[in-house]
Chain A
Amino acid sequence: MIQAFIRQLFLLLLLMAMQVMVFNHMHICGYATPLICVYFILTLPLATARWAKLLWGFATGVVFDMFANTPGMMAATLTLVAMVQPHMLTLIAGVDKDDSDDENTAPTIARLGTLPFMRYITVGVLLQCIVFYLLETFSFFSITDTLINIVGSTVLSTLIIWAIESIREKL
């Protein structure tokens, strides 16, 4: 239990360091910024209690907000993602919570297969980008810019998460 928690914490710190130090400084063409913190929420072990998922989401969001100077935005976004994550797993990736034989079983690329996993990640990242950018602009005034932001960031984040997941699988 404690071991699993520490492993999660370590992964979170690593992801946040990458997000804060590298990805927050990338603005491809002024639009696409990789937002990879959702990866942590999407790959929480299946057996994690729902309230624990929510708290992880909120905590991840607050840390991101502190460094990106977007108070509350990512916290609200990731709490929402953590809320719908179990439903997305069942609906999109076709995983049942009862499948988990071990408390550490997580939705990985090896377990779900490449296509269902990518589908699941894409939807999760898209949800994150939509909520985050709508909160950030908080108006429909420049909706085209916001849409380009959402699409660009979704594509970029999904690709980077795919890369990270592939590397993790090899380890």
Chain B
Amino acid sequence: MAALIEFLKKYNYWFIFILLEVASFVLFFRFNSYQGSVWFTQTNSVAAKINKIYTDVEAFVHLDEVNSKLTAQNSVLQMQVSQLRDQLKDATRKLSINDRHILDSLSGYTMISARVVSASIVKNENYIVIDKGSADGVKPEMGVVGGGGVVGIVRMVNSHYSLVLPIINRNSRISCRIRRTGYYGSLLWDGGSIYYANLVGVPQYARAKRGDAIETSGYSTVFPPGLFVGKVCDIKHAPDGLSQQLVVNLGTNFGNLRDVSVFENLHKQEIQSLIEMNDSLNNKL
């Protein structure tokens, strides 16, 4: 007995080592699924707050630069507006049914502007935290768009922060189409570079070319149709031999993403209730 106690005394650090490693790996496996990481970012308001202070300070330091950029952009935009207003006068009479449809569908969306508080870009399961939450009207499944194009989809919200699943997460899947021809596929990301993603499931006969613009298809209610996503920079054959895989150079630079807008679809409720009605009818038959 005395020998045992002596042994335990001498090698106590081994037990502590094993205990702490077990604790680490419990954390590792318990919290490393995507939802798990939410515990550390979302519910941990301390970390979120400190991250917010950091971004605020950083934003303040860059204010000068941002201001001059905005002024320049503003004047360009004003010129564009006056030009477009003239063009619109002629064009409204000639609008095709399709264009009118796009304008109609856009009118069903409102935008909430937000700022990126923290983001990871070097992992396989990246995430972005933005500083608007349920108190500002953000709900899960809303689309997020930045200056360069589509950013991702809101995954979870708490009162003042939301977690966004960006395109550069292996669980992300966004329905997109080729702007020129209208053929669509799913935009996936398989790790690696944050500048490229793959559009898969595009038919062989879609005749995609390098440089073609990729935009959202609007088939899900998350994004309105026609939002810019990126440009085709390479075309490969999918392993199944039936479809093409387009390598898309993403329009959004996740490395310096700061200001984003969250899209809210005002008609989502109606669309959802239609789908549910259809489901319940099918169940009855």
Q: Using a CB–CB distance below 8 Å, which chain A residues touch chain B?
A: 20-21, 27, 30, 33, 49-51, 53-55, 57-58, 61-62, 65-69, 71-73, 75-76, 79-80, 83, 135-137, 142, 145
Contacts and interface: CB of A to CB of B under 8 A. Distances in A.
Contacts of A69: 37, 40-41, 118, 120, 127
Contact of A66 (B24, B25, B44, B193): B44
Contact of B27 (A67, A68, A71, A136): A71
B29 A72 contact: yes
A136 B24 CA distance: 13
Closest 6 CB pairs of A and B: A72-B28, A72-B27, A76-B24, A71-B31, A50-B13, A75-B24
A53 to B, nearest CB: 8
A39 B43 CA distance: 29
B158 to A, nearest CB: 16
28 contacts: A30-B121, A30-B122, A33-B122, A49-B13, A53-B13, A54-B13, A54-B20, A58-B24, A61-B24, A62-B27, A69-B127, A71-B30, A71-B31, A71-B32, A71-B37, A71-B40, A72-B24, A72-B30, A73-B28, A75-B23, A75-B24, A76-B25, A76-B28, A79-B17, A79-B20, A79-B24, A136-B123, A145-B192
A17 to B, nearest CB: 9
A21 B50 CA distance: 9
A82 B28 CA distance: 18
A61 B31 CA distance: 15
Interface string B4-43: 0000000011001100110111111111100011011100
B124 interface: yes
Contacts of B255: 27
Contact of B25 (A33, A50, A72): A72
B20 A71 contact: no
Contact of A142 (B29, B51, B191): B191
Interface in B152-189: none
Contacts of A71: 27-28, 30-32, 36-37, 39-40
A20 B13 CA distance: 29
A84 to B, nearest CB: 10
Contacts of A57: 20
Given A30-B121, A65-B40, A72-B24, 4 more contacts: A51-B12, A54-B17, A58-B23, A66-B40
Main secondary structure of the interface of B (DSSP, over half): helix
A58 B20 contact: yes
A80 B23 CA distance: 13
Interface of B: 12-13, 16-17, 20-21, 23-32, 36-37, 39-41, 44, 47, 50-51, 54, 118, 120-124, 127, 191-194, 255
Contacts of B50: 20, 67
Contacts, number: 85
B35 to A, nearest CB: 12
A67 B48 CA distance: 9
Given A33-B122, A80-B21, A145-B192, A135 B127 contact: no
B16 A55 contact: yes
A123 B171 CA distance: 36
Nearest to B124: A137
A75 B32 CA distance: 13
Nearest to A73: B28
Contacts of B29: 72
Contacts of B20: 54-55, 57-58, 75, 79
Contacts of B41: 69
Contacts of B37: 69, 71
Contacts of B47: 66-67
A21 B120 contact: no
Nearest to B123: A136
Given A20-B50, A58-B23, A71-B31, A27 B44 contact: no
Contacts of B17: 54, 79, 83
A27 B121 CA distance: 9
